[in-house]
Amino acid sequence: MARYRFHCTNGLECVFDAVGKEIRVPGRLADRARGVAEALMVTLDDGTDWRGWQVSVHDLRGRNVLVLPFRPPADAVARGA
């Protein structure tokens, strides 16, 4: 089992994951990254345009192992935000 950190950024602002999460199956990294993105969008539901945001997943050696763009919430897509 390996620990990964799930940092979120739009290139200007960052939300760093200092603790990380242990993931048993590396194939589940994308699922966890999507969950992190969704949780951040709910937590900071302040009208932010999430289209430029991404989750950057790193192992504990600092290697980038996955980059996944945020999916804007369905209501933002419907509004054309």
pLDDT score of 48 = 86
Task: Note down pLDDT in tens along the chain; length 81 residues.
Answer: 899 999 999 999 999 999 999 999 989 999 999 999 999 999 987 788 899 999 999 999 999 999 999 997 665 545 555
The three-point CA angle 68-51-67 to 5° equals 15
Q: Containing domain of residue 55, as a range?
A: 2-79
Structural domains of the chain, count: 1
pLDDT score of 21 = 96
pLDDT score of 76 = 53
- Residue in 17, 18, 3, 12 with CA at minimum distance from that of residue 59: 3
pLDDT score of 45 = 73
